[in-house]
Amino acid sequence: MIKEKLNQVYKSDALGGFLKYSLRYKGWLIWTIFISSLSSALGAAPAWLTKYLVDDVLISKNGKTMILIGAAIFITTVLKLVTAYYSSTTSSYLTEKIRRDIKIDIFEHIENLPMSYFTQNKLGDIMARLSGDSSSLGKIGFLLFEMLKEFVTVLIFLVRMFQVDFILALVSITVLPSMLAVVKKYTKKMRKSGKIRQDTIGQATAFMQESLAGIQVIKGFNKTDMVISKYKEVTLGEMERTYRTQKIKAKISPLNELLATTMVLLVAAYGGYQIVYTGSITAGDLISFITAIGLMQSPLKKLISRNSELYEIIPSGDRVMEVLKEAKEVDSYIENPKTFDENIQSVKFENVDFIYPNSDAKVLKNINLKVNKGEVVAFVGSSGSGKTTLVNMIPRFYDPVSGSIKINDIDIREYSLKDFRGHIGMVPQETFLFSGTIAENISFGKEGITRDEIEKAAKMANAYNFIIDLEKGFETEVGERGVLLSGGQKQRIAIARALIQNPSIMILDEATSALDTESERLVQDALEKLMVGRTTFVIAHRLSTIVGADKIVVMEKGEIKEIGTHEELLAKNGIYTRLYNIQFNRNEELKLNRETVG
């Protein structure tokens, strides 16, 4: 009920999201509200005490009352300071716990999103949501707790004002509707401007991340100035949006200051009239009333300011909630997932069609293919033929829009995704290593790995010799994305990482195309060891490396055009023959050129 009302007031997923997280800590939340309210109440004590200070001390000249009031002021001040301290620390602690929960949940959610999400969204924008935007969602908590304290303080002062004189209180708050109208008008503009600003910041972050990732290409093509110029354009939009938001914020305070001054003047005029002509209130009452108004100004301004800040960061929080609304990968399409049998007899593609999200064009069309246990199947075809998409459907990076992929005649969507992927090994063309040691990277795919197992996998991957030649051996740091190692070294570590998992199915995006001759020989030898006894799917770039495959699948425009062995396909004199001849002639030309230069 509370969450629904909060969302109705602010129409924001971010506020509702924060409330959901805060309810995880009900005890801390109740204590924070209590101690904040108590601190606010104690801060309002002077509004009551000034009446007695004026009427009973200054006018009646009562010495005992002066001592009592002085003691009361001192005690309430001390209690106010103590409660303010605990109010600040508990609200900060609760906010930080919620902020951490939000970051963890966002990271966990992003990690469990389907691959299609990452193909449709830029990495930099995802990073902005995970870091800056999720922190903003946590900051909402700080602002709400601060607004709670200010609201309670304002409320207590209003109670005091109505206690003194009902009419006088009504006169003083006639300005409040105007102040609220100003806030409502400009906060709506701030929220709209803030949403556009956060999107612009996300674009700037994405551009920066992409530029840094491609710094070698930028420098190689001598396009540093062009990239800098483009970044200036992107950040100009960010600056203009931020400035526009600040201009809106700047209008609120002066307008409210003018309205507040008007309120004080009205009160002074009416209160003076009451004292001089009617005598319905005492001088102490008026001073108490004016004290309440004066002390109310600061929390009221802060309340309005905090509200403006809240609306400014709500768009950032809403961007986080947009991520949390994204559907996670489906673990299994049946209620009780089936147990995956490592003894694979067959893998079948039956009438598989696939269309990427937000696209109308079929990438795969009516794919039918059967792969038997232990076979090596290579997919060849020109760029854009669909071979990578087809292979990526095996570990369920994508699911068919129609048709099915079956292992042992069971649709792979009926297995638990996490269990199923645990039986699949992958060696991509562009090897990705994580920051850490060589040993940590090799053991990444499986828990509880011993050093003997790591070394055995390294030997099978032809990586052991170069590793032990390094100063720190298996404890050598590889650097971000493995930048401290050569391409061939990274590939062999990736093969060792796949081997240690002992998968039933191997997926190889041919990893030798960018390597020198010696590294290619070592990697190719390691790949051949890796494929022994496993059902293997290879995306082939060099046809010379897959002549021994059990099946070669030739693809064109998302369809299977030819299937057969190397010899069978050459005999057909079709697409495969044309591709083979193109590569063969190119290789002969390169060989001839090298001999001529030599």
What is the C-alpha to C-alpha distance for residues 234 and 481, in angstroms, rounded to an integer?
Answer: 27
What is the C-alpha to C-alpha distance for residues 379 and 372, in angstroms, rounded to an integer?
Answer: 15
Cβ-based neighbours of 259, under 8 Å, separated by 6 or more: 175, 178, 179, 182
**Is residue 502 within a helix (H) or strand (E), and if so which, with residue range?**
none
For the chain, give the mean pLDDT: 77
Q: Is 124 exposed, middle or buried (0-12, 13-18, 19+ CB in 10 A)?
A: buried
pLDDT for position 211: 72
Chain centroid to CA 66:
60
Do you know the residue count of the chain? 598
> What's the pLDDT band for 367 if we cut at 50, 70, 90?
very high
> What's the pLDDT band for 251 if we cut at 50, 70, 90?
low
pLDDT for position 7: 45
Nearest to 495 by CA among 543, 435, 422, 425: 425
pLDDT in tens, 226-241: 777 777 777 776 676 6
List the single range of 194-208, 390-404, 435-449 with lowest mean pLDDT.
194-208
Nearest to 320 by CA among 122, 135, 111: 135
> What's the pLDDT band for 589 if we cut at 50, 70, 90?
very low
Residue ranges and CATH numbers for the domains of the chain are 2-325 (1.20.1560.10), 428-502 (3.40.50.300)
> What's the pLDDT band for 590 if we cut at 50, 70, 90?
very low
Higher pLDDT, 511 or 162: 162
Q: Tokens for 167? A: 């009419």
pLDDT in tens, 257-302: 666 666 667 666 766 666 655 666 776 777 777 777 777 777 877 7
pLDDT for position 1: 39
What is the C-alpha to C-alpha distance for residues 352 and 362, in angstroms, rounded to an integer?
Answer: 11
What is the rounded average pLDDT of the residues 320-345? 83
Terminal Cα distance for the chain, rounded = 82
pLDDT for position 554: 93
Instruction: Assess contact for 558 and 386: CB atoms under 8 A.
Output: yes
What is the rounded average pLDDT of the residues 173-184? 61
Q: How many CB atoms lie within 10 A of CB 85?
A: 12
pLDDT for position 191: 57
The answer, as to whether pTM is greater than 0.85, is no
